Every structure is written in C-alpha cells, then in structure tokens.
Amino acid sequence: MNGELDLQRLLSTMRPELDPEPYVFCCFSDMSFAQLASHDPVALIAEAEGVTAILPLASATALGQDAPPRFQRITLTIHSSLEAVGLTAAFAAALTRHGISANVVAGYFHDHIFVPEAQAVEAMLVLRRLSEEAR
C-alpha cells in the first residue's frame, strides 16, 4: 500500500492524535533489542553508544531510569509515504515558531512526533491550525 506523496494533501488531511501516555528517551549500553522488547518500547534504535529506547514512563522507571524529560506522542493519522518531501519540514517549522521541540519517528504508515509533555496541548493546536490553513 503506497502512502500519500502530495504535501498539500498531507497537510490538509492530517489529523493529529495525542497519546495521553508519557514517554521517555533512554539509552542502554548493556541491554539488547530482545531484552528491551518486553518493556513495551515505541521504538528501538541502534546507535554506537547503545540502544536508544522510547519507552512509556512506567517501563523506564521499572528499568531504573531516573526521571528523564517526559514527552507525549502525537501521531499524524495520514498515511504518508516514506518518500514524501516536506511534511517534516512543514510541521517542524510550525512547532519551531512556537518554541516546541519535535522528535520525529517515521513508521511505515504514520509520522510520530514526540513533544515535551508540558507543551503537548499547544503542539496539538499548532498542528491542527497548520492543517486548517492548508485546506
């Protein structure tokens, strides 16, 4: 199934959804993907320094992670192609204008934006406005 490539259509039809779960980014130099898989990761990324895991706060705490910065996930519910050009730049620019950092993970079907927990509601408003302006 091919995803959407047209930037105007992506922006005008994206529907951001806020996940109420708090997430944290952690790095583990002594655990494998297999070991971390049982802790409900949203993503696991291999890096030279170790495995970066995006975990629900409860899982991170259970693994002994101190209280790192907390994020909330916003999923853009448009099936964007992995080859689409400009979507990340468009929403990153809109969030930047409001001083909101965006940590983006692209899945096969959707883009997932992790924003600071304290700014999640504002980020949702910014993204909805971006979509409305593209219509």
Q: Which residue type, as a one-letter code, is found at position 60? A: A
CB atoms closer than 10 angstroms to residue 29: 9
Given a cut of 80, whether residue 2 has pLDDT beyond it is no
Q: Is the pTM of this model over 0.75?
A: yes
Domain membership flag for residue 2: no
pLDDT of residue 18: 97
What is residue 135's three-state secondary structure? Answer: coil
Question: CA–CA distance from 76 to each of 35, 46, 61, 104 (Å)?
Answer: 29, 24, 27, 11
Structural domain tally of the chain? 1
Q: What is the CATH number for 32?
A: 3.30.2130.10
Structural domain harbouring 53 = 7-134
Given a cut of 80, whether residue 3 has pLDDT beyond it is no
Domain membership flag for residue 59: yes
% of the chain surpassing 70 pLDDT: 98
**What are the structure tokens assigned to 50, written together?**
């170790």
Looking at residues 91-118, what average pLDDT do you find? 94
Domain membership flag for residue 1: no
Looking at residues 28-45, what average pLDDT do you find? 90
pLDDT of residue 22: 96
